[in-house]
A and B are shown apart, each in its own frame.
Chain A
Amino acid sequence: MNAPTKIETTLKDWETDQEVRWCPGCGDYAILKAVQRTLPQLGADPSNTCFISGIGCSSRFPYYMETYGFHTIHGRAPAVATGVKLANPDLDVWLVTGDGDGLSIGGNHMLHVLRRNVNMQIMLFNNEIYGLTKGQYSPTSRIGTRSPSTPIGSVDRPANPCAFALGAGARFVGRGFDVSKNLPDVLKAAHAHQGAAFIEIFQNCIVYNKDVFNDFAAPKGAEDRQLWLENGQPMLFDGGTKGIALDKDNLCLKVVDVADGNWEAAGVIVHDVTNRSIAHMLVELPFGPFPMALGVLYDDPRPTFEMGVAGERERATSGKQANLAKLLGSGQTWTVSGTAQDPI
């Protein structure tokens, strides 16, 4: 793939003239701004950028980005985006989806776009609810969620988007939340990753599922319950007074107290974004006993699908020349001589 030319833009260059139609106060506004703030910092070119989405509140996103955009059908954005990338690997593709779009109706496509490792950024806005269809519980809703379709509470266990992504073979898994000031950093890391980069973004649906993430994602006062992971840095939280250590007896993670900043003495481990085993533990950390793991949980690139397809094409076609006439006349043929009998 050619390295794209970096160009200079401002946030304004990424805004469309379309009226934004999300509910006032929706977390989507904050995510939109975070993306529009990030792209100029990446030196991205609007002409070479393409946002592709499915159906749902989150999937209206492309209409508000002054880039190429394709608002497709429910759950199928990963498949459309795969076709786009195979046809033009140089495009910078961002996928926008939600918990219903990406993990329910489109779960199969999400599995395969991650498994194949198609080079794109996949932003899954998780609000644990179906917003655009007026508030039914979703595949990420917690047990007991009351909604029009579950009036006395849901009974099925929710899916964990990051665990799903890692299980599907994702080589980049990140997490953030709508109003977080760190979200652009996660987006930048995802963009720098060559391959399918999966980012779960907790998003507050203020109409149907208000403040369900407040314990760790409130605009203020929840910092103590956030574990921001940084490659090469100790896994510390709560102002550095607590950390994550490996419980070697039970082969799991545990919370330890850190006295006087001496994290090494407390056994706190250093985050290695390429450690897939630890990544599996991080995505599964139950919130409550543990803080919410945020930032880049895992980042270990592998060759992309497009590169594989292009490489195979090169090998298969080297020394071969396209000659349609020859192709049509291939196989076992015979020649009839003489003339036609009075064709009419």
Chain B
Amino acid sequence: MHKRLQSGARQGMHMATQAAHTPPEAALHQQPDAVVVRFAGDSGDGMQLTGGQFTLSTALAGNDLATFPDFPAEIRAPQGTLFGVSAFQINFGSREIDTAGDAPDVLVAMNPAALKTNLSALKPGGLIIADTGEFTKRNLDKAKYKANPLEDGSLAKYDLLAFDISALTIEAVKPFGLGNKDALRSKNMWTLGLALWMFDRSREPIHEWLRAKFKSKPDIADANIAALDAGHAYGETAELSGPLKQLHLPPVPTEAGLYRTITGAESVSLGLVAGAQLAGLPMFFGGYPITPASAILHHLARLKEYNVTTFQAEDEIAAICAAIGASYAGSLGVTSSSGPGIALKGEAMGLAIMTELPLVIVNSQRGGPSTGLPTKTEQSDLYQAVYGRNGDAPMPVIAACSPSDAFECAIEACRIATQYMTPVMLLTDGYIANAAEPWKVPDPASFEPFPANFLTEKNGPANESGDTTLLPYKRDSKGARPWIKPGTPGLMHRIGGIEKQVDTGHLDYSPDNHQAMTDARQAKVLNISVPDQAVSLGEAGGKLVVVGWGSTYGPIHQAVRRARAKGLDVSHIHVRHIWPLPGNLGELLKSYDKVLVPEMNTGQFKTVLRDQYLVDAQPLNKTSGQPFYIHELEEAIEEALA
């Protein structure tokens, strides 16, 4: 169970829910133990903010949760258009939550375009909350509706709650003397207020947040608070006559401790800071703006007191090259990007491999190829991570499976980079980077330090004149060469991208030497100590194993749990160490009759597994830019076992 952070809380929750045989998300009509809500509106409507604050209130209420922010690549897409819709989905409950949920129980649609693009996802019988004030002729046209769907009976199979949120908001903020345009900006807070009432949440933390956010504009803070309160009050009134019912989801039984919500980008940043501290090194972070990786640069830029230097370079290549330069000079060099940027960094990764310098490369994957889907998630850079460089260029690869897991993965990447003198790639993706989940704050003292060592004296045998020599490429028992900081008295030496002579590091193109050095680089990486692979759910051996990596953890875990509840013989294995693979993985896979590998790509890890173990790994692929639904995986499991 070591896959997910050392989270006793999560593991405890696994057991509790397994015993309870959790049914699929129940419809809102019964008292459910989990609910999926999707807020959808125009990109300018503040849906991500609404979702974020609803997430916080959910966490404070002690529910487990997972979120899925889904927004367009355009910053300010034309108002009211179908491609300008921004959505935020949250799944929360009084049991363990692994995914952002398949189908929403509640859809908040702030305009016709939001309804149109999100309706197909809504559960039959689900609740639609719509702002009639935005269902104007003009907006209906923009969303390509011929008739108003709120009025033509086309939504009959859902519960519909349609009222003029726009007008109610304007009414609520009237005392603050704002113009209509400014008043309507508080619409999202009105809606949030209603949602807080629906799920019996305290408004106080949101009040506090608004006061802090608009510290310098108290009247704006007050207007937003008034809108929030009005939305909340409306819920109480509307309950008397309508489909709106207040629900209370009790807190999840959870291990005691301090919790916060965390996104993958925050978690990677904090893990890198922790990793550098455990190595006893200053961190140098070279980055270049790219979606969805920039958030890491933003977080680290605010942490200078943790001995972090951030450098926004002129391009992706300069970002990694500066990080390599900093590692050469004795810092822990880190760079981060997404697919296209990672491709640009490829040659420099080879340099770090050749010069055997520590480096952490974070790849927040997105849909590709080329520019692809900048704001959508995919796992299609695995080949690039494992194989994507010129020459035989072995490099360790680690994949985080959730926002909180990314913290420990980042520490692991720092450990391997500094202990083995190698670049390491940490894979996350757009989903992990943006999604939030509750995180039990770990105690930094619980992590084993791995202090970096620098060579301070010559390490070679004596030459003819009896002087000790320097061997910059002499390897230790792990196969790592010494780290020698320029500025160290007397240890002058030259390194570079040309093939190095064994031990001395001098230029050497000779056949035997290149063979020896290629072998040494390969052996160093393959011999990296990674923990044995555990079974995430189920047992070793059986009819079927579902093997995942990265952000598919949640849906696979839920699907396998549900299948097992039906009595099916299926287990879940989730691989963190993509390269080198855990030593026992081959034997483990061979203990099952069938191996199914769901991936958000066309079958990349499946190919690696087939190549490494000659197992008949079967692919299950999805490349829609959206995470797997649980039911898709459940169906695949049932089919494989039919």
Contacts and interface: CB of A to CB of B under 8 A. Distances in A.
Interface of A: 16, 18, 46-48, 50, 52, 55, 62-63, 65-73, 76, 78-88, 90-91, 108-109, 111-112, 309, 312-313, 316-317, 320-322, 324-325, 327-344
A320 B322 CA distance: 27
Interface of B: 1, 8-9, 11-13, 15-16, 56, 59-60, 62, 205, 209, 251, 253-262, 270, 273-274, 277, 282, 284, 286, 303-307, 309, 311, 313-315, 317-319, 321-331, 333, 347-348, 350-351, 355, 441-445, 485-498, 506-507
Given A87-B325, A324-B274, A335-B257, A47 B491 contact: yes
Tell me whether chain A's interface is mostly helix, strand or loop, or mixed: mixed
Give the 10 A-B CB pairs with smallest separation, nearest first: A83-B325, A71-B496, A83-B322, A79-B321, A68-B486, A340-B255, A69-B494, A87-B329, A79-B318, A80-B325
A70 B314 CA distance: 21
B284 A87 contact: yes
Given A83-B324, A337-B256, A71 B495 contact: yes
Contacts, number: 229
B313 A79 contact: yes
26 contacts: A47-B491, A62-B496, A67-B492, A68-B487, A68-B493, A69-B493, A69-B496, A70-B328, A71-B494, A71-B497, A79-B318, A83-B326, A83-B328, A86-B325, A87-B326, A112-B314, A112-B318, A322-B306, A327-B273, A331-B262, A334-B258, A335-B259, A336-B255, A340-B253, A343-B9, A344-B15
B328 A80 contact: yes
B424 to A, nearest CB: 18
A327 B270 contact: yes
A336 B257 CA distance: 5
B308 to A, nearest CB: 9
A94 B371 CA distance: 37
A72 B496 contact: yes
A88 B330 contact: yes
B487 A48 contact: yes
Given A80-B325, A324-B306, A86 B311 contact: yes
A211 B192 CA distance: 77
B270 A328 contact: yes
Tell me whether chain B's interface is mostly helix, strand or loop, or mixed: mixed
A87 B330 CA distance: 7
Given A47-B492, A91-B486, A322-B305, 14 more contacts: A69-B494, A70-B325, A71-B496, A73-B321, A79-B318, A84-B486, A87-B327, A87-B330, A88-B485, A108-B315, A324-B277, A324-B444, A325-B445, A336-B9
A96 B223 CA distance: 61
Given A70-B495, A72-B496, A343-B12, A47 B489 contact: yes
Given A76-B318, A109-B314, A309-B309, A63 B254 contact: no
A340 B550 CA distance: 27
A169 B245 CA distance: 66
Contacts of A85: 325
Most A Cβ at <10 Å: residue of B15, B60, B259, B305: B305
A322 B273 CA distance: 11
B347 A73 contact: yes
B328 A79 contact: no
B401 to A, nearest CB: 19
A324 B275 CA distance: 11
